[in-house]
Amino acid sequence: MSVATDTHTSSDYATSARRWVNEFLTFFGYPLFLGLSACHWWRQHVVLHHPAPNVIGTDNDVDLEPWFARTRDEVERSTGLRRIYYEKLQWPVFPFAVAFIGFNMQASGWRALVAGLRGAGRSRQHWIDLSAMLLHYVVWLAIPMAFWAPAHVAGFYALRVVLMGYAMFAVLAPGHFPLEAVCIQGGENA
């Protein structure tokens, strides 16, 4: 969690006065150490979240639909089984879903990175991100499998990502989900 927190600071260009130092630390922390795409992070967090925190439809940090309703309006707009789920069942499912935050962040990062590499806007950063993400699997899976049983290495890696999801939620949720943090639909005035 400390690497993620320090990398968050670097991704905001706040660790050093030198841009290259911040980018180096971001590529080390997110893709290499945690398996999270730095390019996706910069887009989702710096470009979208910072200018529009808690704007549903823009800020993915608070947009939990369709799996979870955050606001009374989301519950009231739902019908049928989804409404029953939101009103009665989402709260016991939520703690188990938190276990998949890390895996979801990795998967969404890969989707965004592949789309970025295929798109006209690809940059040197996309290639650095891809290299660091691939190196992540070499460091955390391939090299350890040379010394330990592949099932043990894969199990440890999965446990690491699950625990990272719980740690991220424990650290980040208080800043994103308190009652005082108003959520608005995109296009509304705060």
DSSP secondary structure letter of residue 184: E
Q: Is residue 63 part of a domain?
A: no
Q: For residue 113, tell me if it sits in a domain.
A: yes
Which is higher by pLDDT, 68 or 186? 68
Q: State residue 56 phi and psi, 5-degree precision.
A: -65, 135
Following CA atoms 179, 180, 183, 188 in sequence, which dihedral angle do they give, to the nearest 10 degrees?
140
> Where is 56: in which H helix or E strand?
strand 55-56
How far is 82 from 167, CA to CA, in rounded Å? 29
Predicted local confidence at residue 179, as pLDDT: 66
Kindly indicate the confidence band of residue 181, based on its pLDDT and cuts at 50, 70 and 90.
Answer: low
In a domain, 77, yes or no: no
In a domain, 107, yes or no: yes
Domain that holds residue 114: 2-54+95-177
Q: Tell me the pLDDT tens digit for each residue of 45-76.
A: 888 777 777 676 777 766 677 788 877 888 89
For the stretch 57-60, contacts whose Cβ atoms lie closer than 8 Å and that sit 24 or more positions apart, written own/partner, are: 57/185, 57/186, 57/187, 58/186
**Least confident span in 7-16, 46-55, 116-125:** 46-55
What lies within 8 Å, CB to CB, of 25 at 6+ separation is 6, 7, 10, 15, 16
Q: How many CB atoms lie under 10 A from the CB of residue 137?
A: 12
Domain total in the chain: 1
Amino acid at 145: M
53 vs 133 pLDDT, higher one: 133
Q: Is the pLDDT of residue 157 over 90?
A: yes
What is the model's pLDDT at position 190? 45
Residue 126 lies in a domain: yes
Between 62 and 39, residue with greater pLDDT: 39
- Does residue 75 fall inside a structural domain? no
Provide Rg for the chain, Cα atoms.
18
pLDDT digits (tens, 9 = 90+) for 71-95: 788 889 899 999 999 999 999 998 8
Q: Which residues, 6+ apart, have CB-to-CB distance to 19 below 8 Å?
A: 13
d(CA 150, CA 104): 23
Residue 23 in any domain: the answer is yes
Q: Is 143 a domain residue?
A: yes
Report the 10 Å Cβ neighbour count for 92: 8
